[in-house]
Amino acid sequence: MSLSSHRHTGYGRARIWRRSVLLTCLVAIPSLGSAADPPPGPPAAKWIGKNSAAVLLGWSAPSVNEDGTSPVADLAGYRLYYGAASRPYPTVENMLTETTRIFTSSGGVALTAYDSSGNESDYTALTVAPEAVPTGLQANADSSSQITVSFTEANAGEDGFIVEYQISGDTVWATGVQTGAFSGSGAGAVTGLAGCTTYAFRVRAFANLTGADPLVSDPSDAVTKATAGTSPSAPANLSGSAPTSSSVSLSWTDTSAGTPCAADSFEIERNGTTIHTTTGPTTNYSDTSVSSGNSYTYRVRALRSGLPSNYSNSVTVKLGGTISDTISGKTHSGSMKSISGMAPNTTVQVTSLGGSVCLSGTFVCNGPGGADTSECNALTDECICPANCANASFGALMREGCVQVSNGSTFNSGSGTVNFFVNGDCNPDNNSGQFTITLTY
């Protein structure tokens, strides 16, 4: 009677594989061959298991005939029976020398051996249990490039586990790490990941099979985890300007924009002290806590979750201002007055220069200053005098390095303090004169 149609009434069970897969051995049935020529004994299953894709079966050839004593001398092949139910089996496959098979079945499986006369052995019926899927999956970010995945084996005695990963939302899974066997709970670390990136992880159990590729379980449910952050890249191209005498405008390039570790804020430093942290990834800032006439040096760095980048380039911004003062001088004598408060090394413009027309000279010197014309000797000094200076003594000063200027003329502020020098007047009867000068810087 064909195994594809008849039913059996009883069977014994034996554990054939440590994966809680039950080997169901049916009670012997009458041989399809003659008693004088007993068929081979039933094949011995070595392993059987399945995942969602297929059933994997491996067996060894029988060593004795079905009578249990005579050795097998005539083994022609094997027949595999399987189907959606235990019996009857709608599918039958004949195999010659194979001892492994991969096939699709959601129900029962049976295996027999037969000789060259077509005599078929009793059969081994197999209950197929799926390879158990690991449970309790958790992920922990160890660093910006490593995440450790922990889990619990669902069936004792697995040969190992495969941790797969992908960037969250992707469609392709890659093998991150393969672990060996362990009892209970285990873990595997996936390395070489990108910082500030969210990954999805899942785990499969596998069993090593003799003469075949390992049997791999279906994947576990996935969990997601982001790697730890790294510092964003440093801002670049910092520039600054002074739109008014009481504000500085800064702008820079966010080089981290669009990267996994993009900046979430920026820190602005002025003259070595942090003055502001932005509330978002902006690329400009206006500093209004400045004073006219001063010089300020800035630099910027990016932050991500508090982790700072290196600093950007530095930029120095000088704020302008206006100073007015009156200078007095006596007849044919010298007097000097210092005016301070200008930003160092700043271009100063004379925006107003006027007063007593009989003054022979009003001079401003960036040198050490003094009460006589010798203080204007150095060619690096600059001296200014009103445009109406025509006295011979002025001509001597010009030869000694003084420079005549008028409204609109400019000079360098040097250290920020300018010495004005008045030398006499053109009217012997006038004992003194005054000169008003206004400087813009």
Would 2 be classed as within a structural domain?
no
Are 337 and 411 found together in one domain?
A: yes
Q: Domain end: 318, 336, 360, which one?
A: 318
pTM reported for the whole predicted model: 0.53
Question: Would 389 be classed as within a structural domain?
Answer: yes
Per-residue pLDDT of the chain (441 residues; tens, 9 = 90+): 344 443 333 322 222 233 333 333 333 334 444 445 788 999 988 777 777 777 878 888 999 998 888 999 999 999 998 877 666 778 888 888 888 888 877 677 888 999 999 899 988 877 677 778 899 999 999 998 999 999 998 877 788 899 999 998 888 999 999 888 877 888 999 999 998 999 999 999 888 776 667 788 889 999 999 998 889 999 999 999 888 888 999 999 999 999 889 999 999 999 999 999 999 899 999 999 998 878 899 999 999 988 999 999 999 998 877 777 776 654 334 455 667 766 667 777 777 655 433 333 444 443 333 333 443 333 233 344 444 333 333 332 332 334 444 567 677 767 667 665 554 443 343 444 556 677 776
Contact, 212 vs 58, CB < 8 A? yes
Q: Give the CATH number of the domain where residue 281 resides.
A: 2.60.40.10
* Residue 231 within any structural domain of the chain: no
Claim to verify: residue 248 and residue 209 sit in the same structural domain: no
Q: Are residues 265 and 286 in the same domain?
A: yes
Of 140, 132, 137, the closest CA to residue 159 belongs to 132
Whether residue 120 is contained in a domain is answered as: yes
How big is the chain by its Cα radius of gyration, in Å?
48
Domain identity same for 312 and 335: no
The 3-state secondary structure of the chain reads CCCCCCCCCCEEEEEEECCCEEEEEECCCCCCCCCCCCCECCCEEEEEEECCCCEEEEEECCCEECCCCCECCCCCEEEEEECCCCCCCCEEEEECCCCEEEECCCCCEEEEEECCCCCECCCEEECCCECCCCEEEEEEECCCCCEEEEEECCCCCCCEEEEEEEECCCCCCEEEEEECCCCCEEEEEECCCCCCCEEEEEEEEEEEECCEEEEECCCCCCEEEECCCCCCCCCEEEEEEEEECCEEEEEEECCCCCCCCCCCEEEEEECCEEEEECCCCCCEEEECCCCCCCEEEEEEEEEECCEEEEECCCEEEECCCEEEEEEEEECCCEEEEEECCCCCCCEEEEEEEEECCCECCEEEECCCCCCCHHHHCCCCCCCCCCCCCCCHHHHHHHHCCCCCCCCCCEEECCCCCEEEEEECECCCCCCEEEEEEEEEC
Q: How many CB atoms lie within 10 A of CB 341?
A: 15
Say whether both 199 and 240 belong to one domain.
Answer: no
List residues bridging with 202 in a β-sheet. Answer: 164
Q: Are residues 119 and 148 in the same domain?
A: no
In a domain, 71, yes or no: yes
Has residue 34 been placed in a domain? yes
Cβ-proximal residues to 306 (8 Å cutoff; 6+ apart), any chain: none
Which residue matches tokens 């004949």?
94
Does residue 76 belong to any structural domain of this protein?
Answer: yes
Task: Identify whether residues 310 and 357 lie together within a single domain.
Answer: no
**Total number of domains constituting the chain:** 4
d(CA 350, CA 352): 6
Domain end residue (candidates: 226, 247, 270): 226
- If asked whether residues 16 and 117 sit together in one domain, one would say yes
Among 126, 155, 177, the domain boundary falls at 126
Task: Give me the domain span that covers residue 256.
Answer: 236-318
CATH of residue 329: 2.60.120
Based on the fold, state whether residues 220 and 268 are members of the same structural domain.
no
Residues 331, 436: one domain? Answer: yes
Residue 5 lies in a domain: no
Q: Are residues 205 and 313 in the same domain?
A: no
The structure tokens listed for 152 are 């619990």
Q: Say yes or no: 378 and 357 in one domain.
A: yes
